[in-house]
């Protein structure tokens, strides 16, 4: 796993002020450039999403799928990402989730 966590309060505030949002299927991604050689990721899965079991499952699926996708987009390593997802993450197949995240990364690559 090449991902690290977003831990800086500054990065979280930059998501709100400077972040650019892209969406595809059940996934939305907000990204900002950072001074790091490893991509950083944070997830926003609120209690409205469902039970703790559902939220944790969604986080695991998103993290694993994003880790798989970001390895094919090495040009995006110097960014921090905030991942959002709808409840459809739990019902869609894994290949569909990876495809949605890959589409988001392609959109990010075009914008940066």
**In this structure, what CATH number is given to the domain that contains residue 30?**
3.30.230.10
Q: What is the pLDDT of residue 8?
A: 87
* Rounded Cα–Cα distance for residues 58 and 64 (Å): 10
100, 54 in Cβ contact below 8 A? Answer: no
Give the bridge partners for 22, in sequence order.
29
- The domain total for the chain is 1
Q: How many CB atoms within 10 Å of residue 35?
A: 5
Per-residue pLDDT tens digits of the chain, which is 112 residues long: 678 899 889 999 999 999 999 999 999 999 999 988 889 999 999 898 889 999 999 999 999 999 999 998 888 888 999 999 889 999 999 999 999 999 999 999 888 7
Q: What is the pLDDT of residue 1?
A: 62
Residue-range definition of the domain harbouring residue 76: 4-111
């Amino acid at each position: 796993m090449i991902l690290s966590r977003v831990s800086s309060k500054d990065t979280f505030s930059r998501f709100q002020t400077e972040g650019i949002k892209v969406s595809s299927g059940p996934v939305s991604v907000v990204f900002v450039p950072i001074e790091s050689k490893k991509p950083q990721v944070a997830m926003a899965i609120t209690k409205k999403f469902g039970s703790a079991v559902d939220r944790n499952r969604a986080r695991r699926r998103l993290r694993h799928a994003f880790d798989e996708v970001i390895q094919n987009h090495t040009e995006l390593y110097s960014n921090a990402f905030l991942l959002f997802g709808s409840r459809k993450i739990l019902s869609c197949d894994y290949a569909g989730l990876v495809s949605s995240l890959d589409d988001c990364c392609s959109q990010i690559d075009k914008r940066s």
